[in-house]
Structure formats: C-alpha cells, structure tokens
Chains A and B, each alone.
Chain A
Amino acid sequence: MTMPVLELRDVSRTHGHDDALVRALDHVSLAVAAGEFVAVMGPSGSGKSTLLNLAGGLDAPSSGDVVVEGNRLGGLTRSSLAQLRRRSIGYVFQNLNLIPSLTAAENVMLPRELDGVPIRRARREALAALAEVSMADLADRFPDDMSGGQQQRVAIARAVVGDRRLILADEPTGALDSNTGEGVLRLLRTRCDSGAAAVLVTHDARHAGWADRVVFLRDGATIDETPPLDVPEALLAGGRTP
C-alpha cells in the first residue's frame, strides 16, 4: 500500500484542565489514501471540526501524531505549516468561504499568490481550477453576486488549486439546498477519483453515501467505521475506480 496522504496516529485533543477537562478528540486514528473519500459523521460537539483542524495543522494535538504527505505536523514550524496548507491542503467550510472583497478568480489565486507565484501564472492556474468546477464564466464575479452553491464550487477550486492532494471539507453542503449540495459532493468525488484525498464532515447520511468510507465519532472517539455504501448517483457520476 502506498503512503497515505493523511494519517492520524492515536490523536487526542483536550481543552482545559482537571474538572473542566474537555476531550474534544480521544485517541483517534485514521488514514486516508490518495484517491480516497472519507466521510466523518457524528452529533454536534463530537469532535468532527476538531479532527479537521488537526488534520490541516490549524490546531495541534495534545497527544499523538498527525502526518500529511509524510510530514509529521508536530515537528513543523508555523510557517512550514502555512506552506503545507498552501501546497498540500485545501479547506472548504460550511459558508463564508470566500473573501468578499476578492473576485472568484482572485479568491482561487490567493494561495498561489501567497506562495509567491507570479500573478499571471497564478491567474492562469486559478482559471483552470475554476473551469474544472464549471465556474470559468463567473471568474470575475464577487462572492456577494454568487449563489451559495457557486460560492462552494469556487471554494473547492481554491482548495485544489496548485495541485493540492488533501481536501478537508467541514459540512460544505450545510448551507445549501439538497440539489446544490449533491452537486458539490459530486465535485469532491470527481477530485478524489482523479487522485486527491478528501475528508468530508457531514450530518447527512445521504451525503456520506458519496464517500468510500464513513467514520463515526461520538464524544471525540471513533465508534464505528463502515465500508462504502453503494449509491446510484455515485455510479452515475462515473469514473469511480472500484
């Protein structure tokens, strides 16, 4: 088996001390390989967001190791972590993913520009990423002039631009109607099928159906892990490797 894109090894995250101790994540281990789409489910407060924050290096575990593309995050400096997010990890959140004062293209360009890529090349790459999510026409629109679904597509384009291999999505469909939500998931599925790894936090069992695997969390601990369900839509989307 090839090296997983993301690996959590016995990761815990606690807040506070003693009586006020909160175990946001409790000895969780998880490996996501390239091309794999993993859904994380669980009730509110079960530690889903904490897991994603740890996976992206926004938060540091109290114990255990997080490894992204072979890099142990605990051993990295803040700026190396930032570099990892520019080059390897893409985030998509529930809403307000985009910077309102930047156009769609500029939002997508941002990680590349922060990485020092010259503006013209960054824009070329951004337009290509937008084209992949069928948003090329709206490249110069501001987020305020786009629908929620369109905004999420732009967010996904930004999460993958620069050939990033790990997509962390925290309820990306939470603010969308179900049709639009399906579209966003189909897009994530496609990215995984073309080689990326994705972790999707969701409430919705139907959405989990797009995933290869579902991890259930409760009170910060993994309680179950299922093999993928066969969902017709997923097959219809095509291109899925068995």
Chain B
Amino acid sequence: MNAPALRAALRIARRDAWRAKGRSLLVVALIGLPVFVLAGADIAYRTWQVGPAEKIERAIGAADIEVQWFGGAVVQDPKGWLGNGGIGWQGASGPRPTTAQMLAQLPAGSRAIERRTNENGTQIRTQAGLKRAKFVGMDYADPIARGLVHQVSGRAPANEHEVALTAALSASLGRHTGDQIHLVGPDRDVTVVGVVTDASHRNAQTVFALAQLVAPAGPLSPADSSGWLVDSPGPFTWQQVLHLNSVGFGAVSRTVYLHPPPKSQVPRSFGGSSPSSTAVLASGGLIAGMALLEVVLLAGPAFAVSARRQRRDLALIATVGGRPADLRNVVLANGVVLGLTAGVLSVVGGLIAASIGIPTLGRLVDAVPGQFDVRPLEMLGLAMVSLLTALAAAAFPARGAARTDVIAALAGRAGVMGTRKRVPVLGSIVAAAGALLAIGGATASSGTVPILTGIVILEVGLIICTPALLGLAARLGRHLPLAARIALRDAGRNRSSAAPAVAAVMAAVIGAVAIVIGVASSSAQQRSNYRPVLQNHDGYLTLDGTQSKRAPDIAAALRTAMPSAQVLVLRAPNQDCSANDPTCTTSQVGFELSGEAARRAFQQGRYQGGMAPQTVFDDGAAVAALFGTPVPSAVAALRAGKAVVLDSTAIHDGTVTVTATTVAATAADSGPQPSHPHTITIPAVVVGQGFAMTQLILPSSMAPRLGVTLQPAGVLVHSSRAPTDREMQVADGALNRIDDTLSLYVESGYHNANSWLLLALIAAAAVIAIAAAVIATALANLDSRTAMVTLAAVGAGPHTMRLLSMARAGVIAGIGTAIGVVAGFVPPAAWVQATRRIAGPPIPDEQTLGAQVTLVVPWLPIAAALVGIPVAAALVAGLFTRSRLPADRAAE
C-alpha cells in the first residue's frame, strides 16, 4: 500500500462523487440520516444528563448538607438517597427531633432551614372538583435554598396564609399571583403570592408554602422526605456524615457527593451497576447494528452502480499498472469520500439541530436540561460510524472491482460475475446457525442478546445467499413475458447492485413481519389474560357500612357527573365493618359452584377484582344495568320470587340451594364464630346472555328467609360510552365532597397501548422495503440506459420501458419480500421460545393467569405485505419511469 496510489484513488472518488451528484446525494442522505439522528440524540442525552455539581445543586440548593431523620442506626451510601445504594436503618425510631436538637449534632455555626415534603400532597379545590399537587414546605427565599426554585413572578410565601405555585400547576388551575385558593390537605384558604419553576422538573405541579404549613406524612412513611437543608461553616466530611448516621440521621453532603470517600471507609458496599446494564447496552448495540446493516444494504446498490460505471476507468487503471488492490481501493475510496461527507454533514447537522431543538422543543420535556453538552470524541465516533457504514456498503462492489475483467471492460463487454458454488452453501449454514442461536439461545440472564445476535447472523447468512438466489431466479424466468424475463436476467447479471437491494428489502420485511407476529402474539396473550370486572364503560363504587347511609347522595352525584344511562344502588348484606360499631355484622350469601361453573365464571372474570357482591338482592330494576341489556326472563323470574343464576350447573331440578353465613364484627377478636348458617332451596332460572359480574340475583323477599339484612352495597353506573377526563374529574370532586375515601372504578376494557407505534413501525418497514426496491430500480435503469435505448430503437414503446422498469422493481421487491417473510418468523419464534423457557413449564391448573405465549400469525397483513410490497414498488417505479424516458433518449 503506498500513499500516492491511495491519494490518486481518493482524488478519482472525490471527482466522481461530484460528477454524479444525484447518486452521491442519495448515498450521503442514506448514510447520514441515521448518524444525524444519533448525533442529535447523543447531544440531547448528554445535555439532559446533568453533571454531579449541577445534580447536587438541584437536590440541595446552596446548602452544604441535607439531613433527614430516620432514627435507629443508619447505614447509607455516601451519596445517600441520591446514590444507587440508598439508605438503610435499624432499630426503633423515636419522635422526629426539633431543628435545635438536630443542629446540636452539627458543628457550631451551622444554620438550617426545614424542608417538609409530602409526596401524597395536598388537594386544591377547583371549579370542577379537586386537584392533587405535591406539597413542599420550605422557605425557598432563604439563601440556603438558592437554586432549588426559580421565581417566575410574584414573591415567596412569607406567612402561613400564602403559597407559591409552580407554573405548570398555576396554568392547570388557572390561578395566578393574587388569587385565592382553597387547600384541602390542611383545610384553609390561602393566597397565591408567586409563580415559580422547579429546578429539575419543568412540569412539576407543586404547592410551595412555609414549612409549618406542611404536616409531615409521618416519620419513615415512604411519602415523607422531610428534612433540613443546612449551611455548615466548612465542608462536611464523610466522617461527619458517619457521625450523623450513628445518631439516627441520614445526610447528603455536597463535599462527599462530589468527592466520594474511598471504598475502605464505606461500611457496607453500596452501589454498583445493575447486572442487566451490559445486556441492555449489548441489545441496543445490536439493534443499532441491524439498523446500520439496513443502511449498508440500501447504500450498497449505489456503490455497485458507480463501480460498474467506473468499469472502463478501472480497466484503464489496470492498463497503466494498477494492481487489483488499487482497483479495489478506487471503489472503496468512493465509500471513504461519501462516508466522510455524510459523517461531517450529519454530525454538524445534528449539532445545529440540537442547538436549535433543545431550547425550543426541549421545553416540552419535563426534565430540565443541563449545560449544552457536546462530546467531541462521541461526535468523532459517530462520524466514524458513518465512514464504516459507507465502507461496508462499498466493500462488495470493491471486491468485484478487484476482479475486473480488463479486456472485456476495454472492449465494452459486460463481464458477468459468477458466484462460486460454495458461497450459497456457506450462506445457508450461517443463516441456519443464526436461526438456531436465536431460537435456542436466550435464557433469563442473557436477555435478548442471543436472539438479536442470532438474527444478525441469520440476516448475514441470507445476504450471502442472495446473489446465488438471483442467479437461480434468472434461470427460472425463462418462460416469463419479455419485461419480467429481462428484469430477472438483469437482476441475475447485475448481482452486485441487485443483491444488496434484495437484501435491503429482505431485512426490512424481516423486521416488519417479526413485529407483526410478535405483537400479535403478545397482545393475544395479554388479551387472554385480561379480566374485565364490569361491563365495558361501566363504573362501580363499593360502599362500606357508614357510606351506605349516603347512597342516595352518592347516586345523585354520579347521576349528574357521569354520562350514565342508569345509576343504580345495589343492595346486599353488609360485607364490610370498617366503622367502629359493635353491632355490625357481615354476611356471605352464595351457593357451591361446580368445578366447571367456577372455571367458566373465572374465565368470564366474574370473580376478579371483588368489585360487586357475588350475590345481589333485586326485584328486577337492576337487571338491565347488570346485564347491559334488558333480560325480560330474569325480570319476570325475580318478580315471581325466583332466583336468577348465571350458570346452569348451579341448578338442580330447577332449584338452587343458597346458604347465608352471618358473622358479628366483635367476634373477630375472639376468632371466627359463625352463627348457624341459613340454607334455603328456591326455584331458579338461568340467564346465560350478557355479562354480569354477579353470580346470583335473589328477590329481596328472600333476605328475611336467609336471616340477612340488606343495605346499599354499592353504586353501579351503567354507561353506553367511556366517561371523559373532565367527567371523571367532576365525579371525583363530587364524591370527595361527600367522603374523601370514595373512589369510582370505571371498566375501560383491554387496551393495546402500542398499536399506533406498531402501525408506524410497520409502515416504516414497508416504506424502507419499497424505497430499497425503487432505489435499486432507478439505479438499474440508469445503468442499463444503453439497453433501454436499444430496446427503443427496435421499436419498444414507452409502455414497454415502463413495464420493464416496473418488472425490475417488482422482481427485486418480490424476491426480497419472499425471503423476508419466511425469515421474519424467526425473531418472534425465538421470543416465544425464550419467554416459555424463562417462564418454565406451564402450571396445569387451568385457572392460573398468565396464559402461555403462543405464536399468533396474522396471516392477512403478512399476505398483504407479500403481495403489496412488490406491487407498490412496481407502481412507484412505473411512476418514475414515465418522466425519465425522454431524457434518457436525449442523453444518448
């Protein structure tokens, strides 16, 4: 290898890239786009990834330490609750010390302010109802707190009747500086005196008040992170933190945070990276690798075409003494030039996009970004990725260039590069090994890495086979009509450009098919695991003993708030003695279910969630709401004093046997003392239709016979549509005014949360596949301009030309799609196998949740892809050809 020869190769590549601007631009865009995205994402990631100094400032402001009370002996990570290891304590915790008691443990001259945080927050009365917000009690105007909160307007609260709101909360409430609001946590009216933003969360919805206004959630409650921010006279050392630990305090010191002590001084090992982080990194790398492989395949045909257009140049270089390596380098130099151009442009573009995007679009993100952070080494790395991608794309044509048939090229004859017999065999072996690794390799600990590795290997194997497959297809096309025959032959002859295009289609289709099958399988599993507890859109609210007295108010409130067709109070024996009432009793009413009935009831979800009592007493009014549809037979039966059951197996000779067991609440202390059960046998009818969450409906006349007293047990809201967010707010507000523990559950059915993302992914894969075929076709058309002109000269009309172009695209897309569809079964199969292997053998009990994942193949979308992608590619190619043909003629 000598430098002057390399320089000459680069010179030729540079000039050629400039001469073929369109093709160069295409390659630069293909290679540059992913790198551009990566560069922008890297800068955004680094910008949001706050440095330690900024992180500690956001956590403790200008303080030297934050101290929290735990009691007992505290063992903590040097970084305390900000570190990975967190904090632990042993022994009883006494009452929270006063600020003075806390300061006594610190060096003289320390000054502290309290910061009380209640994550449960406070509630603010709104027009619609209640709004929950985080509640922080801290005099943030104190210099110690500087940096925690940024005052947007107004001032800091100065007394117990004043609060400040974050901008997000102020906007959400529609309350601003000067307005009065009513807090429900500590029940009082306060004045908003300022609007602020939180240092780290842009969208934080927080009420700031003075410390004394916030009642701590109680020591050691997970919702409580109250403590002190302390200004100490000097840096606060790890030794001093350890002293605080010994007396029951945990502490985060700025000094210790920024300069952690050596491991030997840390009592217990804290921290360490999570074991899966390398696997996650590897998976990310493999996914990025697959994306880049796709880029390589998309850019490959462009390099192949430029290499073939350079054939005469390459032959000339050979005649003046170029070695095969020199010829290869000339083609590789195309990759260097375009790869570097793409790298520089995309990194610079990413930089510009990030510098514009972070201050503007970045506002939409909750987390507040840190300093604009560009890592030159990472940018350089990304530019290198672009270079390597281009080199990889140029590698295949470069190999061909090294084997240029000089004499044929000089004579203007097209040399056909054959495929050696061993190559497809090798490719098949590689592909099979990849599939085996993917399907057999994943274990619980290794995660997705073997699957992804296997898929990459599978794709590489298929790519190796592609040229041979093209040769085979060309031979099989002997009896096809002219356009298809020429297209197949062309694909077979120009393998260096057709093969990467076919492979690009294939890789995109593998992705699309894998996603379709994978998602269909996983959502089938989730759907079969989902157990609705009510009819869709219905709501239910359970009432305890005291709440049942207010049932009419609650029903009335829900009637106004919800879009309900019917709001019903269901009556049943009391089942919940939450009130301190010694006379309270609870009763269970029901019948033995046969195994089969139990299984079916379970499948229909009637036992799930405990939403409604299994037995309801009703004289026909609730039937329509319970079943979601009028059931005259049930109404008639109840009116006639018969029971309604949902399962025929519960009925024997037209009757059902019902047992009631009543227990006194006071008996709970002295162990279960069931009063003697009442058992009755009454005529019953079966209602199989509709969905009811209740197993048994009894006429209310049966209550005395069972020795139970009825009371409102719950409120059923039967709606024909889902309530809106606003309606839910209104309902919550209204319920809260009655009793703040009331909560309404609304059944919203099974949601496939990812369906939009999924559709977008499939569409993207289809677009990539079609684009690959069309790009390759455009290049093939350009490449065979002489052949096209010859065809035109022998009388082929534009119609034939367009047909030929469409056939080219169809052939490339068709072969690629066919291989891709077959290979696309491997990733989801691998995933299903891995999931099963990790979950262990199925549990024989049929009632277990977590149905096994099975491969669900949505044949229709797959068949649509198999036909649609080639057809779409052909149509797009056909559209392009019409506008190109006259220019082609003029060019010759």
How many of B's residues come within 8 Å of A, CB to CB?
A: 27
- Mark out the residues of chain A between 91 and 149 whose CB falls within 8 Å of any chain B CB in the assembled complex: 91, 93, 96-102, 106, 109-119, 122
Interface flag for B767 (CB, 8 Å): no
Are A82 and B8 touching (Cβ within 8 A)?
no
Are B316 and A59 touching (Cβ within 8 A)?
no
Interface flag for B5 (CB, 8 Å): yes
Name the contact of B320 in the complex, choosing from A78, A110, A117, A119 (C-beta under 8 A).
A110
Are B320 and A86 touching (Cβ within 8 A)?
yes
Are B318 and A82 touching (Cβ within 8 A)?
yes
Interface flag for B15 (CB, 8 Å): yes
Interface flag for A87 (CB, 8 Å): yes
In whole angstroms, how far apart are the Cα atoms of A82 and B411 in the complex? 19
Name the contact of B12 in the complex, choosing from A93, A102, A119, A158 (C-beta under 8 A).
A102
Name the contact of B4 in the complex, choosing from A59, A78, A79, A118 (C-beta under 8 A).
A118
Interface flag for B37 (CB, 8 Å): no
Are B321 and A111 touching (Cβ within 8 A)?
yes
In the complex, what residues of B have CB within 8 A of residue A91's CB? Answer: 319-320
Are B8 and A53 touching (Cβ within 8 A)?
no
Name the contact of A78 in the complex, choosing from B5, B316, B323 (C-beta under 8 A).
B323
Interface flag for B16 (CB, 8 Å): yes
| With known contacts A82-B321, A85-B321, A114–B326 Cβ distance under 8 A | yes
| With known contacts A97-B316, A109-B8, A114–B321 Cβ distance under 8 A | yes
In whole angstroms, how far apart are the Cα atoms of A106 and B313 in the complex? 13
In whole angstroms, how far apart are the Cα atoms of A100 and B312 in the complex? 10
Interface flag for B410 (CB, 8 Å): yes
* Chain B residue with Cβ nearest A117: B4
Interface flag for A47 (CB, 8 Å): no
Are B320 and A101 touching (Cβ within 8 A)?
no
Are B321 and A78 touching (Cβ within 8 A)?
no
Are A58 and B407 touching (Cβ within 8 A)?
yes
Interface flag for B368 (CB, 8 Å): no
Question: A173-188 toward B: CB 8 Å interface, digit per residue (1/0)?
Answer: 0000000000000000
* Chain B residue with Cβ nearest A86: B321
Interface flag for B96 (CB, 8 Å): no
| With known contacts A101-B12, A106-B11, A122–B4 Cβ distance under 8 A | yes
Name the contact of A102 in the complex, choosing from B4, B7, B11, B322 (C-beta under 8 A).
B11
Q: Please give the distance in Å from A144's CB to the nearest CB on chain B.
A: 10
* Chain B residue with Cβ nearest A79: B323
In the complex, what residues of A have CB within 8 A of residue B2's CB? Answer: 116
In whole angstroms, how far apart are the Cα atoms of A226 and B326 in the complex? 41
* Chain A residue with Cβ nearest B330: A99
In the complex, what residues of A have CB within 8 A of residue B313's CB? Answer: 99-101
Name the contact of A111 in the complex, choosing from B7, B320, B406 (C-beta under 8 A).
B320
* Chain A residue with Cβ nearest B20: A101
In whole angstroms, how far apart are the Cα atoms of A119 and B15 in the complex? 17
In the complex, what residues of B have CB within 8 A of residue A111's CB? Answer: 320-321
Are B312 and A96 touching (Cβ within 8 A)?
yes
Name the contact of B19 in the complex, choosing from A59, A100, A109 (C-beta under 8 A).
A100
Are A87 and B321 touching (Cβ within 8 A)?
yes
Interface flag for B857 (CB, 8 Å): no
Interface flag for B266 (CB, 8 Å): no
Interface flag for A44 (CB, 8 Å): no
In whole angstroms, how far apart are the Cα atoms of A59 and B322 in the complex? 15
In the complex, what residues of B have CB within 8 A of residue A158's CB? Answer: 320
Question: B389-430 toward A: CB 8 Å interface, digit per residue (1/0)?
Answer: 000000000000000001100110000000000000000000
Name the contact of A116 in the complex, choosing from B5, B16, B316, B320 (C-beta under 8 A).
B5
Name the contact of B8 in the complex, choosing from A93, A96, A113 (C-beta under 8 A).
A113
In the complex, what residues of B have CB within 8 A of residue A53's CB? Answer: 407
Interface flag for B324 (CB, 8 Å): yes
In the complex, what residues of A have CB within 8 A of residue B326's CB? Answer: 82, 114
- Mark out the residues of chain B between 519 and 571 whose CB falls within 8 Å of any chain A CB in the assembled complex: none
Interface flag for A56 (CB, 8 Å): yes
Interface flag for A71 (CB, 8 Å): no
Interface flag for A62 (CB, 8 Å): no
In the complex, what residues of B have CB within 8 A of residue A117's CB? Answer: 4
Interface flag for B486 (CB, 8 Å): no
Interface flag for B29 (CB, 8 Å): no
In whole angstroms, how far apart are the Cα atoms of A77 and B553 in the complex? 101
Are B322 and A119 touching (Cβ within 8 A)?
no
Name the contact of A114 in the complex, choosing from B11, B16, B322 (C-beta under 8 A).
B322
In the complex, what residues of A have CB within 8 A of residue B5's CB? Answer: 113-116
Q: Please give the distance in Å from B328's CB to the nearest CB on chain A.
A: 13
Q: Please give the distance in Å from A178's CB to the nearest CB on chain B.
A: 25
Interface flag for B317 (CB, 8 Å): yes
Are B19 and A101 touching (Cβ within 8 A)?
yes
Are B4 and A82 touching (Cβ within 8 A)?
no
In whole angstroms, how far apart are the Cα atoms of A182 and B326 in the complex? 35
- Mark out the residues of chain B between 1 and 40 whose CB falls within 8 Å of any chain A CB in the assembled complex: 2-5, 7-8, 11-12, 15-16, 19
In the complex, what residues of A have CB within 8 A of residue B407's CB? Answer: 53, 58-59
In whole angstroms, how far apart are the Cα atoms of A97 and B319 in the complex? 10
In the complex, what residues of A have CB within 8 A of residue B16's CB? Answer: 101
In the complex, what residues of B have CB within 8 A of residue A85's CB? Answer: 318-321
In whole angstroms, how far apart are the Cα atoms of A1 and B603 in the complex? 107
| With known contacts A102-B15, A116-B2, A110–B318 Cβ distance under 8 A | no
Are A58 and B12 touching (Cβ within 8 A)?
no
In whole angstroms, how far apart are the Cα atoms of A164 and B846 in the complex? 89
In whole angstroms, how far apart are the Cα atoms of A122 and B407 in the complex? 27
Are B316 and A99 touching (Cβ within 8 A)?
yes
Are B410 and A93 touching (Cβ within 8 A)?
yes
- Mark out the residues of chain A between 28 and 85 whose CB falls within 8 Å of any chain B CB in the assembled complex: 49, 53, 56, 58-59, 78-79, 82-85
In the complex, what residues of B have CB within 8 A of residue A109's CB? Answer: 8
Are B322 and A99 touching (Cβ within 8 A)?
no
In the complex, what residues of A have CB within 8 A of residue B410's CB? Answer: 58, 93
In whole angstroms, how far apart are the Cα atoms of A138 and B713 in the complex? 102
Q: Please give the distance in Å from B401's CB to the nearest CB on chain A.
A: 14
* Chain B residue with Cβ nearest A162: B321
In the complex, what residues of B have CB within 8 A of residue A99's CB? Answer: 12, 313, 316-317
A-B pairs with beta carbons under 8 Å apart, 21 shown: A56-B319, A58-B407, A58-B410, A59-B407, A85-B321, A86-B320, A86-B321, A96-B316, A97-B316, A99-B12, A99-B316, A101-B11, A102-B12, A110-B8, A110-B320, A111-B320, A113-B7, A114-B321, A114-B326, A117-B4, A118-B4
Other A-B contacts than A84-B321, A115-B321, 17 sampled, CB-CB below 8 A, are: A58-B410, A82-B326, A85-B318, A91-B319, A91-B320, A93-B410, A96-B312, A100-B313, A101-B19, A102-B11, A102-B12, A114-B5, A114-B317, A114-B323, A116-B3, A117-B4, A119-B4
8 nearest A-B residue pairs (beta carbon) = A86-B321, A101-B15, A116-B2, A85-B321, A113-B4, A111-B320, A113-B8, A91-B319
Residues of A near any B CB (own CB < 8 A): 49, 53, 56, 58-59, 78-79, 82-87, 90-91, 93, 96-102, 106, 109-119, 122, 158
